[in-house]
With several copies, the nearest count.
Chain A
Amino acid sequence: MTGFHLAADKRTTLEEAVAHVRDGATVALGGGLAARLPMALVRALVRQGTTGLRVVGSAHSIDVDLLVGAGAVAVCEESYVGFEQDLGLAPAFRRGAESGSLVVRESSCVTMLTQLRAAEMGVPFLPVRGLLGTDLPTLHPEWGTVTCPFTGQVLAAVPALAPDVALLHAPIGDTAGNLHLDQPYVLDERFAHASRVVVASVDRLVDTAEVVAAGVTVPAHVVTAVVEAPFGAHPTSCYPGYAYDRSHLAEYVKAAAAGGEAFEAYLDRYVRVDEQTYRDLTGAERLTAWSASDEQWQELFR
């Protein structure tokens, strides 16, 4: 199962960080919806040319969609992939599912949580509420049922899931890998404890004292590697630093919906470049203006 990672200095580069992700690996992506997604790591994964991934998590958006569009994903096992009512369905994810090139083993939030908890608790399975009567189990031959030894009740049962690698993004962290996150943590804590390898990017690498003052959410001993990547969650948000980039997300969705050359052009422009170039191109800095006033904050969403 999961051993601890005791090195004192875990700093590395994006390239070395994503080298932990082998073709075919089960990868947990931190954050949720369009917040705190590990996008700098995702972009590096695409540059690495990784294939055959099984991605697992709860509710996601551009992280999964970009990986699917770039051909990195074989199996998608999340509770949701999309851009909510604002930008709609996830284009590459949808195309993959509909064409059959992507296997979607849709999961649900509590089910994913329960599978991670089983791994974290060191048990091979856990019972879970709900699921029975829904069609989700038809997508999961690996799920089953269990009879409560005390009440005789039949419950859904799911096996432990220990991701090979978790990719997390945090606003701050130290060289040993202590990370502070703002809430909601979504599944990041569970990923951190259940995964064999945890790779974290941070907007700012800071002194341990600063992480302690903010609160250590993910402790160093579960983190394998840490890399400084300013605006590393962009175009998703990473508060207290920056709001999400609605116009960039719209640009992405348009390119992904068009597919083909348009998507390749997106990759060439934004993914197959270094992160400094990416930040300059996207003007990510402007998203820190959210904190100036409620009016400026709202403006970012119009």
Chain B
Amino acid sequence: MSTQSADGAQGWSLDEWFVVALARTVADGEVVFHGFASPCAQVAMHVARRTHAPGSMLVEGATYAVNPEPAFVPPTSNDLALHRDAVYRMRFEEFFDAACRGAVDRMFLSGGQIDAYGNTNVTAIGGMPHPKIKLGGGGGGANISATIGALTVWTTRHGSGRTLVEAVDFLTDLGHRTPAGTRAELGHTGGGPQWLVTELGVLDYTDDGRARLVATFPDVTVADVEKATGFALTVADDVGTVPEPTPAELAAVRAVDPLGVRRLEFGPADLARRFGPAA
């Protein structure tokens, strides 16, 4: 199988690799969900199911369709195109009840700000009630980030230096520890953030709930990541390079996302990053 991308160039782009890295956080047999406004996570879930996690159960964003096989991913999360071949569509309340009682294993979450514990702000830069920038809002995260088995957090704006912050201006979705206490102290049943995937690299979480850099993309150094990170960054002893995408994974990304909606999450500089034979 060729790794040639749709436009005929050899190798692969950062957006493709990023989605593959996200996809690899899904374990086979898991029940996984993404929210709306999450094209990278959306594409990643389908890539996971078409590659290493065929036994995962995918709940499709704002449609709550179970294991659909869309011909393409449209740029909005609530579209009939995303139901294709789904045997079942959960009701809104059915999905959220399942998530609240712990029947959902993994959710993808992003944020305009993310702190060391994986708390995210999708409500307002500058906080409320006087926001500097009013973001869209958190959807269901303020509830189900507390209860879902594990969270994959992602951002495509790590390099901005403004996304991974010491303290979020508004805490919308729950990481491992908030100013009000740990998840256990707050009575929350879910496991919290397990992975943080950024356009610079991949992080996991230490036992005390802080993000730890475990791998970078090959054009990024640990120093680059430290510089872009607003909190004291823990770095694994054996930081490596994010494992390369396989031809099958790249093919899956391109098949799932012919419209390239994943690219909507990246700035021009990151969209220009290319890797592999012709990079």
Q: A2-B102, A135-B171, A237-B80 are in contact. Are A130 and B145 (CB under 8 A)?
A: yes
Contacts of A190 in B (CB 8 A): 92-93
Q: Could you tell me the distance between the alpha carbons of A136 and B129 in the complex, rounded to whole angstroms? A: 11
* B80 pairs with A182, CB closer than 8 A: yes
Instruction: For the complex, count residues of A whose C-beta is within 8 A of B.
Output: 83
* A97 pairs with B131, CB closer than 8 A: yes
Contacts of A142 in B (CB 8 A): none
Kindly state whether residue B152 has any CB partner on chain A within 8 Å: no
Contact of B172 (CB < 8 Å), options: A94, A121, A135, A246: A135
The DSSP consensus for interface residues of chain B is loop
Within 8 A of A (CB), among B59-91: 62-66, 71-72, 74-81, 83, 87-91
Range of interface residues on B (Cβ < 8 Å): 35 or more
* B103 pairs with A2, CB closer than 8 A: yes
Q: Could you tell me the distance between the alpha carbons of A67 and B115 in the complex, rounded to whole angstroms? A: 34
Kindly state whether residue B29 has any CB partner on chain A within 8 Å: yes
Interface residues of B (CB under 8 A from A): 29, 31, 36-39, 55, 57, 62-66, 71-72, 74-81, 83, 87-94, 96-103, 123-124, 127-147, 170-174, 178-181, 183, 186-189, 258-259, 261, 264-265
Q: Name 18 extra pairs, CB < 8 A, besides A79-B139, A111-B142, A133-B186.
A: A6-B31, A35-B62, A59-B62, A84-B77, A85-B261, A110-B99, A133-B181, A133-B183, A134-B142, A136-B172, A155-B187, A178-B87, A184-B64, A189-B91, A190-B93, A237-B80, A239-B80, A290-B80
Pull 23 A–B residue pairs with CB atoms less than 8 Å apart, ordered by A. A4-B98, A33-B77, A59-B139, A81-B136, A85-B39, A86-B261, A89-B136, A97-B124, A97-B134, A106-B138, A109-B96, A111-B143, A120-B101, A129-B100, A130-B147, A133-B183, A135-B171, A154-B187, A178-B87, A183-B63, A183-B65, A184-B63, A220-B87
Interface residues of A (CB under 8 A from B): 1-4, 6, 32-35, 58-59, 78-82, 84-86, 89-90, 93-94, 97-98, 100, 103-104, 106, 108-111, 113, 117, 119-123, 128-136, 138-139, 153-155, 178, 182-187, 189-190, 193, 208, 211-212, 216, 219-221, 237, 239-240, 243-244, 246, 290, 294, 297-298, 301-302
